[in-house]
Amino acid sequence: MDRLALKRGGQVLAPSILTVGNMACGFYALLAVQRQQFVSAATAILVGMVFDALDGRIARLVHGESSFGIEFDSLSDFLTFGIAPAHMMYAFILKDYGVFGYPIAFLYAMCGGLRLARFNAVAHDSGGSKTHFTGLPIPGGAGFLASFVLLYQMIEEGRPGHTWKFIMDQIPALYGLMPAMVLVVAFLMISTIPYPAFKQPSVLRPRSIRILLAMVIAAMIIFIFPQNAVFVIFLIYLLLGPVGWVVRRTRGLLRSGPSAA
């Protein structure tokens, strides 16, 4: 019995160590923002996403899923992807908007907490879907904001490096829209718009030479243009939900149109 308990404890501990890494990244991001080191803060948030992605996979690999793991993971996510990005965006941009800056930052953090609370409730009740998330996942919103900060800081510091000119030309305009974008991200997190989960093992298994080649090309692009590629990836994922919702609604209206007539 003791041996079984020890084995179970080890199975729960393995993913929890990675969750601690995620939490450490969030705490470091807060400290970096206090020192006005926004590149370090944004990088820490993105590194936290790596820990967050790994802890779930490790938990499933070693059969270490538990109610404790779900709650601990959500607490870490709220710090790294809720509080830290809200604090970063307030210090980076939103503070310049006077009395409106604080409510916008708080709304993002609050919606992130609501998003995680809903996810936990569904996970405890039914386990949730393996194919999609309900609403934008909080790491997706945080990744979009963090990758934007990295790009804008490159412009501010005059170090464009290897970049896509078209993307970099849009960043100053996006800077002016960022308060609205923070609100959009907050709304998407608490929405019921489905987002792909990419949890299935088959997603990572190339089924043809073309898919394998596409994965290699994507990896090369990320390696050569890391900041641009990461921002575009998060932007595309952010838009997947609303665009998919519009497409489904349009198809539904087109199908029901002739029959209604």
Query: How confident is the model at residue 164, as a pLDDT?
Result: 77
Under 8 Å CB-to-CB from 3, ≥6 apart: which residues?
Answer: none
- Strands in 82-171 per DSSP E: 132-134
Q: What is the b/e burial string over 147-169, where b = at least 16 CB atoms within 10 angstroms of the residue's CB?
A: bbbbbbbbeeeeeeeebbeebbe
Top-confidence range, 44-53, 62-71, 127-136: 44-53
Residues 6+ apart with CB under 8 A from 73: 19, 22, 52, 55, 56
Question: Which pLDDT does position 128 carry in this prediction?
Answer: 65
Sign of CA dihedral 122, 125, 127, 131: negative
pLDDT of amino acid 8: 47
Cα–Cα nearest to 85, from 49, 118, 134, 51: 49
Using DSSP's 3-state secondary structure scheme, residue 132 falls into strand
Its pTM stands at 0.85
Burial category of 249 from C-beta neighbours within 10 Å (exposed 0-12, middle 13-18, buried 19 and up): exposed
Q: Which of 129-133, 158-162, 182-186, 242-246 has the lowest mean pLDDT?
A: 158-162
> Average model confidence (pLDDT) for the chain?
84
Architecture of domain 2-251: Up-down Bundle (1.20)
Q: Which helix (H) or strand (E) holds 194?
A: strand 194-196
Question: How many whole angstroms separate alpha carbon 198 and alpha carbon 41?
Answer: 27
- Evaluate whether 200 touches 130 at the Cβ level (below 8 Å): yes
Report pLDDT for 170: 87
